[in-house]
Amino acid sequence: MGDADLANLSDKLMLTTVVLYIIALFAYAADLGFGRRRSAALVAEKAEAKVLVGAGAAAPTPAEGAAEEAAAPGRPDGGRRQADWARLGVVLNLLGWAAHLGMLVTRGLSADRWPWANMYEFLAAIAFAAVTAFLVVMWRYQARFLGAFVMVAAVVALGIDNLWLYDSVGPVSPALNSYWIAIHVTAAITATGAFTVAGAATILYLVKSRAQERGGVAEGGVLARIPAVEALDRLCLRVTMFAFPIWTAAIIMGAIWADEAWGRYWGWDPKETWSFVIWIGYAAYLHARSTAGWKGRKAAILSLIAFAALLFNFFGVNYMFSGLHSYA
């Protein structure tokens, strides 16, 4: 298969990915909207059980887990219908993930380089990292409730990618012609994907906590099917603790690459500056959690500010400022 054929296949896989993600989004939404109300306390207990198992406690058996997800209250087939929507969402999500991976691989093979050398490829890779992070979190913490929200982010990102950022396969720009693209950029993409999942959990935390303050969460509503705010708070912390060291490593490796490419480690280029602002934001969040004991709204606001800086770093800095990192 020639380079043009691979590039064409990559474009088709991109469209396939978007379609599968959209259908998965509707399935996850149906699971949230029409499935039975899951006990928020149960979800929190499951998350804690993961930690306890690591400390030597006994893990729940598969039979116990299946029993917990069995019939829905009030209707004998409620549990089965919820399981059907959930299963459909997960299956379509996995198929979309596989198509997404194939899109990146064929794009890279067609260009004979790493497939994140321009804005189109970079955003596609970030969306892939976010979906991958969600799948890991869903498996690790039973966080299926995040599916609809992460799928919205992925569909919007890939829609922007196809409509406004599409770029034909071509050679890499001279500044990116280095093995460091496989190290520095990959680390930045991985951290950004994980921060996106943490951002979704943070937004849900703020929405649900606000609803509770205003008079409680309506029984049978969507928010009632989302875990307790304490569980959302812990989930955001754990995902951020995973992503932050990777982001730190990406900045350090970027500085080394900058010295090789431009003869200086740091020059306060707009991208460098905002990467550091993001680092400060998430460092402040983690520091406040560990030393000041911040939990809840104050910590969530810090996390959300850092996530907003992350979004601005990608969409704002790349188009509003000129610098050595401006590849848009």
Residue extents of the structural domains in the chain: 1-37+72-172, 174-328
Please name the amino acid found at residue 34: F
Q: What is the pLDDT of residue 322?
A: 65
> CB pairs under 8 A, 24+ apart, for 177-185?
178/257, 178/260, 178/261, 180/253, 180/254, 180/256, 180/257, 180/260, 181/113, 181/114, 181/116, 181/117, 182/114, 183/253, 184/250, 184/253, 184/254, 184/257, 185/114, 185/116, 185/122, 185/250
What pLDDT, in 10s, does the model give residues 189-241?
999 999 999 999 999 999 999 888 887 766 667 888 889 999 999 999 999 99
What pLDDT, in 10s, does the model give residues 213-225?
887 766 667 888 8
Q: In Å, how far are 22, 29, 70, 79 from 75, measured between CA atoms?
A: 29, 20, 11, 8
Closest alpha carbon to 72 in 216, 224, 232, 211: 224
Q: Is residue 104 within 8 Å of residue 115, measured between CB atoms?
A: yes
Instruction: Give me the tens of pLDDT residue by residue for the chain, a chain 328 residues long.
Output: 668 899 999 999 999 999 999 999 999 999 988 865 544 444 444 545 554 444 444 444 443 443 344 334 344 455 555 678 989 999 999 999 999 999 999 999 998 999 988 899 999 999 999 999 999 999 999 899 999 999 999 999 999 999 999 998 888 777 677 888 899 999 999 999 999 999 999 999 999 998 888 877 666 678 888 899 999 999 999 999 999 999 999 999 999 998 888 888 888 888 899 999 999 999 999 999 988 778 788 899 999 999 999 999 988 887 776 665 655 5
pTM (predicted TM-score): 0.85
Closest alpha carbon to 83 in 65, 58, 107: 65
Q: What is the pLDDT of residue 40?
A: 40
Q: Is residue 105 within 8 Å of residue 99, measured between CB atoms?
A: no
Q: What is the pLDDT of residue 254?
A: 92
CA distance 188 to 190: 6
Q: What is the pLDDT of residue 221?
A: 73
Other beta carbons within 10 angstroms of residue 107's beta carbon come to 26
Q: What is the pLDDT of residue 295?
A: 78
